[in-house]
Amino acid sequence: MNCIRQFLAKHAKCKPVHGSVPEPYYRAQTRALLPNINSTLTLDDVEYKGLNGRVQEFSINRESDKLVLAVEFRNLYTASDRTHFTVYRRAREPITTVDFLKVLYKSMTITIVIPDLKSLKLEQAETFSYVDDGAPRITIGPNAFNSPDPTVRRAAAEFYPSLPIGVREAYLTEGSFIIITFIQKTLCDFGLNVL
């Protein structure tokens, strides 16, 4: 970890840190896109646990001028008492219900590729999430997807069977927040305000 800190500090405009991500960690809001069931989940006052991952890979590719960092997160927990379950309907307004959502992933590996080795630019990085746990434990409140509308009932019926796809879809964007938070709290603070 110290070698990674030193490399980042030398090749980026960041300040080395020797801490950890606070547990629990809070975020005002996040959104999970679930195009497979034409829905989004918008979580307010989100609580996270398990953001202190373990570095699996750290490599420097001088030919492509990129740094690769992969971090495994175990028992990654996300929860919100106020989650907006929005289902989109053809040629009509979407329907939104609100209830709680809790998700626990046993294991997830997030890889970040940062360009420009001479002056690493975290804000230009690409992130890829590999959800090792295809069946996370999910608990949702009884009012989630609670509507007589047939489109909403269909989305609710498809939610659990399509869960492995939905998890991958959601973490296309959520992975960036998680790994950048990990980097800035445990390795080197780039001064980015990740919302």
- Residue-wise pLDDT tens digits, 55-67: 999 999 999 999 9
pLDDT, one tens digit per residue, over 174-183 is: 899 999 999 9
Confidence check: pLDDT of 194 > 80 = no
CA dihedral 135, 139, 140, 141 (to 10 degrees): 160
84 or 191, greater pLDDT: 84
CA dihedral 173, 179, 185, 189 (to 10 degrees): -80
Residue 105: how many other CB atoms lie within 10 Å: 22
Confidence of residue 195 (pLDDT cuts 50, 70, 90): low
Confidence check: pLDDT of 193 > 90 = no
Mean pLDDT confidence for 53-81: 96
45 or 135, greater pLDDT: 45
The span from the CA of 142 to the CA of 128, in Å, is: 32
pLDDT, one tens digit per residue, over 142-167 is: 999 999 999 999 999 998 888 878 87
- pLDDT (0 to 100) of residue 133: 72
Q: What is the mean pLDDT of the chain?
A: 93
By the 10 Å C-beta count (0-12 exposed, 13-18 middle, 19+ buried), 130 is classed as middle
Fold adopted by 2-189: Bactericidal permeability-increasing protein; domain 1 (3.15.10)
The span from the CA of 61 to the CA of 22, in Å, is: 32
Domain boundaries, the chain: 2-189
- pLDDT (0 to 100) of residue 162: 86
From 18-27, 52-61, 171-180, the region with the lowest mean pLDDT = 171-180
pTM: 0.91
